[in-house]
Amino acid sequence: MARVLIVGAGLTGSLCASLLRRELQDKVRIEVWEKSRGSGCTLSCSPQAFCCPSTRLVFFERHVTGLFRRGASWEVQSRAGDSEMFDAVVLTIPVPQILQLEGDLTE
């Protein structure tokens, strides 16, 4: 089963996870990584309604520091020092944060 990582659990990340789940159903495993302790940290309204209920694999305090191309997959490194492999990565974090990531972002 293909693995998809969505980086950022705000409104855009939650919507992306929901739409991917609706379209691909059980064909992919979708994970959402958020560096904060909760979702929707840049929203001015209550974020609870936007947390992706159909995804179920939402991990908080998981700060992505690098993306590295490994063949047809992506190795995603976190600030904790661990790494995991994904078939696709969707970045929904602000551009200044994307520019701070290490790795192969031009691919």
Whole domain around residue 9: which residue ranges? Answer: 2-103
Read off the pLDDT of residues 11-21 as tens digits, 9 standing for 90 and up.
Answer: 999 999 999 99
> What's the length of the chain?
107
CA distance linking residue 59 with residue 68, whole number of Å: 20
**Strand-pair category, 73-78 with 64-70:** antiparallel
Quote the number of domains for the chain: 1
Q: What is the pLDDT of residue 37?
A: 83
96 phi and psi, to 5 degrees?
-60, -35
Read off the pLDDT of residues 65-82 as tens digits, 9 standing for 90 and up.
Answer: 999 999 999 999 999 999
List Cα–Cα distances, 17 to 47, 81, 90, 103, in angstroms.
Answer: 15, 25, 10, 24
Domain of 82: which CATH number?
A: 3.50.50.60
Sheet holding 73-78, edge to edge: 83-86, 73-78, 64-70, 102-103
Measured from the Cβ of residue 61, the count of other Cβ atoms closer than 10 Å reads 13
CA distance linking residue 78 with residue 88, whole number of Å: 16
> What's the mean pLDDT when you consider all of the chain?
87
